[in-house]
Structure 1
Amino acid sequence: MAIRQIVVKPATILEEVCKPVTAFDEELTVLLDDLYETMLDADGVGIAAPQVGVPLRVAIVDLGEGEDPIEMINPEVTGTEGESVDIEGCLSIPGLYGEVERPYFIRIKAQERDGSWYELEAEDYEARAILHEIDHLDGILFDSKILRIVDPSELEVDEEQEETE
């Protein structure tokens, strides 16, 4: 496993639609492992292959709550419900935070490392993180969806409030 360099905006790969994965091989395994290590090193909750310069439909989300990371290969959103607005940031756009509206509940189907398909339902923050990463695979960056830019000082206030609750 290796920590890869994170591609930052305005790199054009971040705005390209990624190609589907067709080979479920050792190269894919290495990419998934490297993505996970890179995400942890950068203190992220999700990362997509184009963020490390690979234009494939591969992404990972890990909320770090004792659950296994969600590896998504060739993910497709099959259903959404509700809406919520919350603050997002992105490893590929350091220092920018903003309020983004996304569905509250999602249903997706995606493939595992071995190519087998699975379905997943998620809500709230998990759904938001999954959709953020799927957007990366479609060449969509969160800054195009920002309703209101959030000053980093507002994040510090939110974190302090959480610590006292």
Structure 2
Amino acid sequence: MARFETGLADSAIDQIKRTYGWMDSHDPGITQWEGIGPNGSLYEDGYTSMAHGWSTGVLPALTHQLLGAKPTSPGYATCAVRPHPGSVRWTQGELSTPHGKLGVKWVREDGRFTLTVRVPRSTRGSVALPTDGHRVALRAGDRTLWSDGRARASGVRLDAGYLTLAGLAHGTHRFTLVRES
């Protein structure tokens, strides 16, 4: 998670693949892994327990960092979506909350980054889209929220390489970042 938070998303993804990749491709379908040795061997021979939940530890990193969805108050009454995509091209997920499902999907293709967020009833959210250091325009449908290096709508700001928009109400919101020339 620290690698994601410090701008090293590709390094974090590589770490996940090295640590969990073998488990993912060789799932026994009966339990959670405790640990593995080289090439999937039992690291303590016959004494290795294969029934421990530590192997699910990657889920918060994938949910809160790669997908980018986090609660910002108890019970997801407020939430933030701030993905750290690295070189990943797309991801999507749903999180069950006391208010309903929080849905997040993002796709990066052809110089665009599109983020769709479904905010549950009785909650509020914010989004932060990565600019990757490029000059970008941010759109929500036909509405331009940011272009030419400045806000075109209230509440949009550039913060540490992300365009951030707060105060999203219940509903589905779609944002697209496009590189400007």
More helix by share: 1
TM-score, length-normalised on structure 2?
0.27
More strand by share: 2
- Of structures 1 and 2, the larger Rg is shown by 2
